[in-house]
Amino acid sequence: MSDSDRPRSSFAGMAELSTRPPVRMLSPDQIEQMLAEHQLYLETEYHQGHRANFASADLSQRDFSGRNLRGIKMDRAVLKGTNFRRARLQSANLVGAILHGARFDEADLSGARLSGANLVSANLENACLAKADGSRCWARRYCRAPVCARLT
Interface positions with another protein (CB under 8 A): 10-11, 13-14, 91, 105, 109-133, 137, 140-141
Do 95 and 115 form a contact (C-beta atoms < 8 A)?
yes
Amino acid found at 95: V
Cβ 30 to another protein shortest distance, Å: 28
Q: Of the two residues 57 and 106, which places its CB atom closer to another protein in the complex? A: 106
Closest CA to 53 of 75, 70, 36: 75
Cβ 118 to another protein shortest distance, Å: 5
Cβ 137 to another protein shortest distance, Å: 5
Q: Of the two residues 53 and 126, which places its CB atom closer to another protein in the complex? A: 126
Cβ 18 to another protein shortest distance, Å: 12
Cα angle, residue 134 at apex, residues 132 and 139 outer, rounded to 5°: 100
| Partners of residue 108 on adjacent β-strands | 88, 128
Q: Of the two residues 78 and 137, which places its CB atom closer to another protein in the complex? A: 137
**39 three-class SS:** helix
Q: Cα dist. 80→48, 51, 61, 103, 148 in Å?
A: 31, 22, 6, 9, 29
Q: Of the two residues 65 and 115, which places its CB atom closer to another protein in the complex? A: 115
